[in-house]
Structure 1
């Protein structure tokens, strides 16, 4: 189990140079934007415009802050993503343009290499203890708001935008919020289903 602190995340320019992204974690460690297997990041989007394209990558987007965004994805129906909608998955290698609904947003991006790695993203809003079931692969829990206590050999406290990276096949993650809290549970696994 590895704790990822928001203060230690790495910021870098978007692939298309249109803004800045904050990388939470990437695999393999040290991978660049063109050679990662999977990547979890956040971006502050201050204006409408095109998304960066990533060859052979599947992406899931969730809005963390702001009113939301409308995506025009080549060959897809238009998609509106807000803090209330479920995380939205689409291919990262097709032309995609974003139109902000009401000003700047911060979004969460989860990207995996198609055919090799798969992922899922779930938003949980809770004020009660929750058990996040262990599954094959790697699980990342991102605390968006509030504060949570994670039961482990030594209890871990996570604040806003801190994350917990659970190694493959470790025991269930037990989370105790100190108030109403929004969490994102991100699961990364081999596309074949074998780890």
Structure 2
């Protein structure tokens, strides 16, 4: 288990220059925006506009803060995303734009290279200890709010808002919230055949 503390996240401009991204984790380590296999980041969206295009990449978007935004994804009906909406997967190389509902938002982006890796994102609101089966090559547990103790195998770590645990080849993870907590469980593995 590797712990990525919120205070150490890397800040960088968007690929299209329209905002700022906080990079939580990328693989391979120190990969650029053009050659990562997977990437987990948060972005502050302060104005309406287009998303950056990432050829050959699949993306899942979740709202972390703010009133939400309406996403226009080419070939789909517009979707209203809020903090209560389930994470939304879509291709990162399809024309996509967003209109803010009422002020800036912060979103969570999970991206994997299509054909090489696949991912899933779940939003978990918990108020009691629970054990979740994972079984992926890589599992990330992002603590969005509250505080939790995470145990995988013989390793235990405490996470507060913004911290992320990265687990490699874990089969299960036990999450014990201090009170109530909201987390995002991200699994990354080879695509199903």
Q: TM-score, normalised by structure 1?
A: 0.95
Higher percent of residues as strand: 2
The residue aligned with 2:158 is 157
Which residue does 1:38 correspond to in 2? Answer: 38
Q: Which residue of 2 aligns with 1:24?
A: 24
SS of the equivalent of 1:35 reads: coil
Aligned residues: 192
Q: Is the 8 A contact 1:116 1:192 kept in 2?
A: no
Structure 2 unaligned residues grouped into runs of 5+: none
1:192, distance to aligned residue in structure 2 (A) = 4.2
List structure 1 segments (4+ residues) > 2 angstroms apart after TM superposition: 151-155
Q: 1:154 Cα shift?
A: 4.8
> Partner of 2:83: helix, strand, or coil?
coil
Q: Verify the 8 A CA contact 2:134 2:187 in the aligned structure 1.
A: no
In the TM superposition, residue 64 of structure 1 has moved relative to its aligned partner by: 0.3
CA distance in 2 between partners of 1:58 and 1:158 (Å): 28
Give the C-alpha shift of residue 80 in structure 1.
1.0
Provide the secondary structure at the position in 2 that maps to 1:7. helix
Note the residue ranges of structure 1 that are not aligned, 5 or more in a row.
Answer: none
Secondary structure at the counterpart of residue 145 of structure 2: coil
CA–CA separation in structure 2 for the residues paired with 1:165 and 1:78: 33
Q: Name the CA distance, whole Å, in 2 between partners of 1:161 and 1:121.
A: 16
